[in-house]
């Protein structure tokens, strides 16, 4: 029995009975078992997945319509709350201090959320099979997935390399063909960058498009939940299912959800695509540039108008983001104090303050501590104006760059990342080098606009290197997701027509 790799085929066949949800689940579980070395899952319970699949099959037999994601397995980033599995943000902080960490399902003794995140509840309503919790950088802080308390994730394209981060596990499960789609979160690039580095599609919706209720907060003015998928249409279908206002999240926008899947396949004649000079400067790998320029040229041949332009504040993105995101995380992570959640370190005679300190010291990893320290510093009396307030002002300038650009063009096209996936360990000792990996993804997050990454043709293989994926980033005005899907689907078709690179 062959299982389609495509979301709409799976959903259709499960709904009309050609395929049982149980068969889909079994195939995905087999694929997960043969890719254990990726370390992509923190928790996967075959028992509960098969039970949920059987329940779907029974509902269908009773004549129910299961929904647009009928029987589709979806991996969930461990930053999202789920009723039937632990949620830990890949941190020891959300584990019980006195319980052992098993080799398989290391978060077994993790925190149990009392509710499903809204996006998870919406996926279940659409008929999806929630398929395990995926590994990530601790509290979503990182660009390589090496900051997980449970070990790094490997890139399925080349297991010596990082899959990107922070949603590295969610990207890896899709790239390895375990689940056709997954959910991640993107604060400064954590969906787009891993999608680009593993050769799949990843979408960061506009700020406010998708509910964050049940997403463990990192930086609340930036965080968004979004899908990964093998193909553009699949990502569009999942985004449609999770989008829309949510009374439980006051930052979710009360705006109609677009017809994202229907936008795929629309032609792009006359569409204006801006190419900002600042995204093609120093630091961009020559091979990556070539592949991105090839995609832009193909879109031009297809009828789009290419408009070169300037976005002069692009290079301030990193400095601005690392002030604002750390400030917000120092506040958001204050709740992990050893009292209300998970880990608690007690010593006889310790004061309350000592208990907080010992618990936070034992629970948080090095990068999370670095960010909390930085964030506390930039918010402290005497430094607030120089750092936090200043960064807010620069954020406005970054946002204005986008407003000016979108007055002239419909979408922007850039590389997703300056380089292809690097080797595990290559940048972990140098946080600044790691932060530079986000140079092209951070500005869109600061501006709150929508963005996605869709694969270019990969770099040419060399004797020591397989063809490494390259991402094309498309950016659109807030709530113009349909336009992104329209262009991305068109490029995907053009790429297929181009075929593989001659070697
Ligand atoms: N890599 C960036 C960081 O480390 C972005 C992370 C994210 O989007 N969650 O903060």
pLDDT digits over 259-301, tens only? 999 999 999 999 999 999 999 998 999 999 999 999 999 999 9
Which DSSP helix (H) or strand (E) runs through 53?
helix 46-61
- Say what the pLDDT of residue 129 is: 98
pLDDT band at residue 341 using 50, 70 and 90 as cut-offs? confident
- For residues 6 and 503, which has the higher predicted lDDT (pLDDT)? 6
Distance from residue 191's CA to the centre of ligand 1 (Å) = 9
pLDDT at 347: 80
Residue 438 CA to ligand 1 centre (angstroms): 8
Helices 7-16 and 21-33: crossing angle in degrees, nearest 10, is 140
Give yes or no for residue 16 having a pLDDT over 70: yes
Average pLDDT of the chain, as a whole number: 96
Mean per-residue pLDDT for 207-227?
98
**How far, in Å, from the CA of 143 to the mean position of ligand 1?**
6
pLDDT digits (tens, 9 = 90+) for 24-50: 999 999 999 999 999 999 999 999 999
Mutation test residue for ligand 1: of 78, 79, 135, 137, the one with most atoms within 8 Å of CB = 137
* pLDDT tens-digit map of 392-402: 999 999 999 99
Cβ 352 vs Cβ 373: under 8 Å: no
- The set of catalytic residues is 77, 166, 190
The set of protein residues with a Cβ atom below 6 angstroms from ligand 1 is: 140-143, 166, 186-190, 218, 325, 438
Looking at residue 502, its pLDDT comes to 73
Asked if the model's pLDDT at residue 1 lies above 80, the reply is no
Supply the residue whose CA is at minimum distance from atom 4 of ligand 1.
Answer: 142
Binned at pLDDT 50, 70 and 90, residue 235 comes out as very high
CA 190 to centroid of ligand 1, rounded, Å: 5
pLDDT at 359: 94
Tell me what percent of the residues of the chain surpass a pLDDT of 70.
Answer: 100
C-alpha to C-alpha distance for 503 and 495, rounded to whole angstroms: 16
- Residues 411-446 have pLDDT tens digits of 999 999 999 999 999 999 998 889 999 999 999 999
Over 70: is that where the pLDDT of 503 sits? no
Specify whether the CB–CB gap between 392 and 324 falls below 8 A.
yes
Which residue's alpha carbon is nearest to atom 10 within ligand 1? 141
Measured in Å, residue 164 CA sits from the centre of ligand 1 at 10
**Res. 342: pLDDT tops 90:** no
Determine the Cα–Cα distance for residues 219 and 395; give it in Å rounded to an integer: 14
pLDDT of the residue at 431? 87
Does residue 156 surpass a pLDDT of 70?
Answer: yes
Q: Ligand 1 pocket: which of 77, 91, 136, 189 to mutate (most atoms <8 Å of CB)?
A: 189
438, 471 Cβ separation under 8 angstroms: no
* d(C-alpha 331, C-alpha 384), whole Å: 14
Q: Are strands 411-415 and 305-309 parallel, antiparallel or unpaired?
A: unpaired
> What pLDDT is recorded for position 270?
96
- Tens of pLDDT along 301-333? 999 999 999 999 999 999 999 999 999 999 999
The proportion of the chain whose per-residue pLDDT surpasses 90, expressed as a percent, equals 94
The whole-number average pLDDT for the span 163-167 is: 98
Atom of ligand 1 at shortest distance to CA of 218? 9
User: Nearest CA to 421 among 457, 452, 453, 458?
Assistant: 458
């Amino acid at each position: 029995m062959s299982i389609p790799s495509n979301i709409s085929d799976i959903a259709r066949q499960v709904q009309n009975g050609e395929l049982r949800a149980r068969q889909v689940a079994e195939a995905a579980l087999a694929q997960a078992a043969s890719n254990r070395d990726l370390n992509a899952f923190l928790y996967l319970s075959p028992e509960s997945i098969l039970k949920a699949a059987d329940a779907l099959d029974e509902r269908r037999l009773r004549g129910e319509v299961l929904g647009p994601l009928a029987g589709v397995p979806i991996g969930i980033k461990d930053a999202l709350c789920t009723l039937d599995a632990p949620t830990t943000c890949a941190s020891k902080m959300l584990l019980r201090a006195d319980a052992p960490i098993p080799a398989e399902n290391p978060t077994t003794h993790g925190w149990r959320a009392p509710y499903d995140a809204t996006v998870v509840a919406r996926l279940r309503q659409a008929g999806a099979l929630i398929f395990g919790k995926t590994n990530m950088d601790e509290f979503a802080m990182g660009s390589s997935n090496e900051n997980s308390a449970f070990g790094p994730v490997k890139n399925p394209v080349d297991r010596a390399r990082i899959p990107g981060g922070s949603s590295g596990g969610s990207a890896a499960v899709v790239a390895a063909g375990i689940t056709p789609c997954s959910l991640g979160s993107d604060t400064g690039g954590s969906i787009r960058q891993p999608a680009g580095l593993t050769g799949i599609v990843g979408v960061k919706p506009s700020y406010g498009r998708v509910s964050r209720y049940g997403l463990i907060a990192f930086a609340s003015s930036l965080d968004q939940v979004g899908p990964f998928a093998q193909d553009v249409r699949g990502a569009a279908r999942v985004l449609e299912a999770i989008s829309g206002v949510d009374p439980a999240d006051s930052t979710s926008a009360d705006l109609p959800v677009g017809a994202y899947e229907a936008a795929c396949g629309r032609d792009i004649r006359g569409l204006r695509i801006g190419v900002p000079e600042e995204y093609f400067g120093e630091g961009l790998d020559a091979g990556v540039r070539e592949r991105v320029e090839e995609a832009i040229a193909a879109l031009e041949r297809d009828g789009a108008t290419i408009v070169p332009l300037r976005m002069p504040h692009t290079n301030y993105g990193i400095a601005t983001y690392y002030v604002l995101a750390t400030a917000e995380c120092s506040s958001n992570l204050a709740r992990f104090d050893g009292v209300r959640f998970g880990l608690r370190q007690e010593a006889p005679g310790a004061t309350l303050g000592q208990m907080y300190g010992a618990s936070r010291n034992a629970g948080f990893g090095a990068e999370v501590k670095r960010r909390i320290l930085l964030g506390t510093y930039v918010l402290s009396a005497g430094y607030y104006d120089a750092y936090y307030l200043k960064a807010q002002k620069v954020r406005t300038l970054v946002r204005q760059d986008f407003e000016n650009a979108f007055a002239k063009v419909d979408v922007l096209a850039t590389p997703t990342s300056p380089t292809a996936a690097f080797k595990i360990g290559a940048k972990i000792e140098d946080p600044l080098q790691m932060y530079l990996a986000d140079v092209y993804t951070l500005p869109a997050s600061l501006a709150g606009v929508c963005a996605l990454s869709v694969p270019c043709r990969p770099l040419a293989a060399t004797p020591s290197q397989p063809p490494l994926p390259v991402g094309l980033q498309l950016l659109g005005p807030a709530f113009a997701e349909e336009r992104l899907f329209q262009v991305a689907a068109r490029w995907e078709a053009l790429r297929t027509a181009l075929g593989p690179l001659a070697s």
